[in-house]
Amino acid sequence: MASWERLEHEPQKAYGYFMAYRSLGLGRSLTGLLQAIRDNTVLLPEKNLSTLKRYFAQFDWQSRAKAWDDFQAELRLEIEIIESARHHREQSSQFRDTFNHLGKKQVALGNKMLSESERLLPISPSESCALAKAATTLIGMPGADAWAKSLAIDKLLEEYGID
């Protein structure tokens, strides 16, 4: 049994006052409870501070209310953790969806480029690879002309009418 629940020997009336006291939050006080009762914010019949003080001491309201506050803080933390995990899942899902969509677009563009290059310059994939490798690794390097000649790039360019 949690300490903020009704104690075995605690009268229902005293427990009702305790719940009202507990609900006042971190700045709670007996005078605050009495004021809430008098203002009809808390609908309890007792308007006597001495009775409230007796219940406060006899049923250990202060430590029980602190235990309640600690419990509420733990609940808020758990809720924050759950909300954070939910938010992270949503962001991860959006991230996956976005990059899945972009990946599909890139594949479609690659296929379109491949189709267009095959139409304009029908060469085998291995020849295409050799051209790409030559273009990316040799341009501007000493001996680039020798490599281009060994790959017969001039012959390919001439054959397909590319300047």
Distance CA(44)–CA(16), nearest Å, equals: 8
Half-sphere exposure of 85 (CA within 13 A, CB side): 6
Rounded mean pLDDT, 5-26:
93
pLDDT of residue 157: 65
* Residue predicted with more confidence, 63 or 127: 63
Q: Dihedral through CA 89, CA 93, CA 94, CA 95, nearest 10?
A: 100
CA 123, 125, 127, 133 dihedral sign is positive
pLDDT in tens, 116-161: 777 777 777 777 767 666 665 555 566 656 655 666 666 666 666 6
pLDDT at 46 over 80: no
CB 117 within 8 A of CB 128: yes
Q: What is the pTM of this model?
A: 0.56
**Residue-level pLDDT at 143:** 60
DSSP track, 63-111: HHHHHHHHHHHHHHHHHHHHHHHHHHHHHHHHHHHHHHHHHHHHHHHHH
Mean pLDDT to the nearest integer, 68-91: 95
Residue 36 and residue 27: Cα distance in Å, rounded?
Answer: 13
